[in-house]
Structure 1
Amino acid sequence: MSARRILPAGFAVALAFGSLASIAHAQFGGLDKLRQGIDKAKSTTQSVTDTSRKVADTAKDASKVAKGVMGIGPEEEKLIGESVALEIIGKYGGLVRDDAIVKRVNLLGQALAYYSTRPALPWTFAVLDSASVNGFSAPGGYVFITRGLYDAVAGSDDALAAILAHEIAHITERHALKIIARAEFVAGTTTLAVKNNATAAQVQSQLSQFDTGIADLLKTLLEKGFDPKTELAADKTGRALAVTVGYAPGALRQVLVQLQQKKSDPNATFSTHPPLADRIKNLPNDPAPASQ
């Protein structure tokens, strides 16, 4: 692995007050609290979902529409992110606790996050104990990659940074939050329409498909994945972030090409992402980074 990267000033300050190990263990402590509070988190998840669906009982439909357009605030993002992160950890085998892996993923991840468009988020990076090849993100700064994906890129800092940057891009661009915001927007407009339309049941039926909430967000992240346009945009934004921090521009494309050549089981390799061929075609044909 290369040691040529320069840590950002903010991260250097963090290192001055404690080792990477202490930073990583602190982050695991936060994730462990999520796991210990599983019942509370599930209750919170249901509460958030119920809130978005009970629009017929509120007298402030117009404000709900405005909120849907403007997006979700920091506190709501935090609650949503905690709930989603908990589900990801539970579904993908828990957390890998190898100190060397934890340090490395956090070193690269925090450096990338520092130069992202949302450096103030409490970013958390972890590896899931799953042999599948995949990566996930949750609102509020949670980034996960599976052990299978980590092993596939373990020989290159450039490749690992490219993968982490893709997931960071989903968070900085608020891709998951836009799903929730759209649900609130449609829910608000549905209630307004019902109050002014004699065929209320028909209106409800036509728009019910957009009533997503947390449960459907989890289905999107863990089963269906984002739509191809969103994933390709994250590839582009993540590539730009990695290049800004000093990593090779061709790293992400190289990773995807290598995974494609392995002819792995498509159900186990980036199963929630667009086909590898589409992602490769979408990226500039930059030279592959030199081996490290």
Structure 2
Amino acid sequence: MKQPLFAVLLLGLIALGGCATNPATGESNFVMMSEQQELDLGLRASQEIGKENPRYADEKLQAYVQQVGERVAQHSHRSNLKYQFTVVDSADINAFALPGGYIYIHRGLLAYLGSEAELAAVLGHEVGHVTARHGVQQQSQSMAWGVLGQAVAIGTGVGAAGDLTNVLGSAMVRGYGRDMELQADGLGAQYLARSGYDPQAMIEVVKVLKSQEDFARDQAAQRGQPTPTSSYHGVFDTHPDNDRRLQEVVGPARALANGSAQQTNREVFLQHLDGLPVGDSEATGVRRGRHFYHAGLGFALSFPEDWVVLNQPDVLVGQSAVQQAFIAMQLERAEGTPEAFLRARLRGQGLAEAEALQQAGLQGYTGVIPGQAAKRVAVIFKGSQAFLFVAAVKGGASLESADAQFLQTIKSFHPLAADERKLAQPMRLQMVRAKAGQTYAELAKNSPLPRDAEATLRLLNHQYPSGQPMPGKWLKLVH
């Protein structure tokens, strides 16, 4: 009797992959790639990640983070790997790891950490993902579900079965999951202790990120907005600092320390943060309310009142308060005339209400792509640069409901003026020693933070939502 096709493919799947001993835990895990394939996967992924996550241009800080990361990694279960630690030029609160030892931490997260030990805790957590091959296990599970989905679809003759299996597979491998995150915490805490850092720093980082969540929830409530989701992928988003399981996985690391002196290196860490941008950096352009200034590219523009501005590495987006109207701007290379450039991008689509733009000595062109979901498009040339705008509304509303605001934004684009240069500079951290009697309310009065300065200063200094500066202790201020 002939073997069913499903069984044949299943046997083939088993042959492709198998159980391998986890180098960090000693457990048997299902994997479908060798270590060399893992390294190749990590290298390819790091090249793509680099396009979307620009490196922060401070080589002294980069070298410091690399040094701390290597100190932790050399006491890991896979110290033979060549680890690469990179600070990403982003205000997001995040850190992540790729297979093979490529680890990233956003400068936005750095700003809220309080010591070198806490930095080591974040990096150690990510090293734990690498040593336990969590990314490889995730990729292998995804590949397995894909093969099984094809088997079900072919074996049953029902294409939808393959789609269903892919959905189940996606649900299974979405994120690392709490067990893997806890495992990375336990491994990271071990590496901290072996490196001479205080493993309690792992708990302190959880407190920092839980305060971030509390702050975001409180700010959203004050503005009548929905609570935003945490940007951090890891265990810090899944349990509180007093969680029993977290205490249990960190406990063995405390025993490993065995009462020996464990470093925190708070002052050294804070010295490296002095001058770190808070929010946007000069390289990415600076948002100030509804206005945007970019020193490197030499332009400024403004969005309508009450609009939210999202600053991404490859696109600048403005959206209305109710998120029904959007306008996005991207940078491209200028070719030909503005009209020819825009029509070439439309690839034969019609352009209504077309007109030339002349503003602040710059040439441009704009028009409307007609249709049920009409769009306003425009381009403005500035030297060899072409700034391309695309604007639309959603929810069935007509373009006319927001077109005046779209045009207002496009026509606000202009070369950066001399008196705007200062506005294109970011806010930065400044380290000072607290004086007797100082309060956060007093310090907030002289802060350039645009809103909720007192609460933000508390958050930066691990004292949210209450507490006051301690005389003689280092404080993070913003100037």
Question: Matched residue of 2:97: which SS?
Answer: strand
Q: CA RMSD in A?
A: 3.3
- 2:216: which partner in 1? 265
C-alpha deviations, 1:113-162, integer Å up to 9, x for none? 11211112221111000011110100111000000112222x41211111
Find the partner of 2:141 among 175, 178, 182: 182
**In 2, are the aligned partners of 1:67 and 1:185 still within 8 Å (CA)?**
no
Higher relative contact order (CA 8 A, sep 6+): 1
State which structure, 1 or 2, has the greater radius of gyration over its C-alpha atoms.
2
| Offset at residue 289 of structure 1 (A) | 7.2
Question: Matched residue of 1:145: which SS?
Answer: strand
Question: Matched residue of 1:115: which SS?
Answer: coil
Question: Matched residue of 1:168: which SS?
Answer: helix
Correspondence 1:60-209 to 2 at 5 A: 62-70=11-19, 71=31, 72-92=33-53, 94-153=54-113, 155-190=114-149, 197-199=155-157, 201=159, 203-209=161-167
- 2:239: which partner in 1? 278
**In 2, are the aligned partners of 1:111 and 1:245 still within 8 Å (CA)?**
yes
Q: 1:254 to 1:185 in 2, by over 3 A?
A: same
Aligned residues: 224
**In 2, are the aligned partners of 1:69 and 1:181 still within 8 Å (CA)?**
no
Question: Matched residue of 1:122: which SS?
Answer: coil
| TM-score (normalised: structure 2) | 0.41
Find the partner of 1:234 among 180, 184, 192: 184
Letter of the aligned partner of 1:177 in structure 2?
V
Correspondence 1:45-56 to 2 at 5 A: none
**In 1, are the aligned partners of 2:206 and 2:236 still within 8 Å (CA)?**
no
Q: Distance in 1 between matches of 2:237 and 2:10?
A: 42
Q: 1:60 to 1:275 in 2, by over 3 A?
A: closer
Q: 1:234 to 1:270 in 2, by over 3 A?
A: farther
Question: Matched residue of 2:87: which SS?
Answer: strand
Aligned residues with identical type, % of pairs: 24
Letter of the aligned partner of 2:192 in structure 1?
A
* Structure showing the higher helix proportion among its residues: 1
Q: Distance in 2 between matches of 1:63 and 1:134?
A: 39
Q: Distance in 1 between matches of 2:193 and 2:179?
A: 21
Q: Distance in 1 between matches of 2:237 and 2:160?
A: 41
Q: Distance in 1 between matches of 2:166 and 2:230?
A: 32
Question: Matched residue of 1:107: which SS?
Answer: helix
* Structure showing the higher strand proportion among its residues: 2
- 2:413: which partner in 1? none
| Offset at residue 232 of structure 1 (A) | 2.2
Structure 2, unmatched stretches of 5+, are 20-30, 218-227, 255-261, 268-479
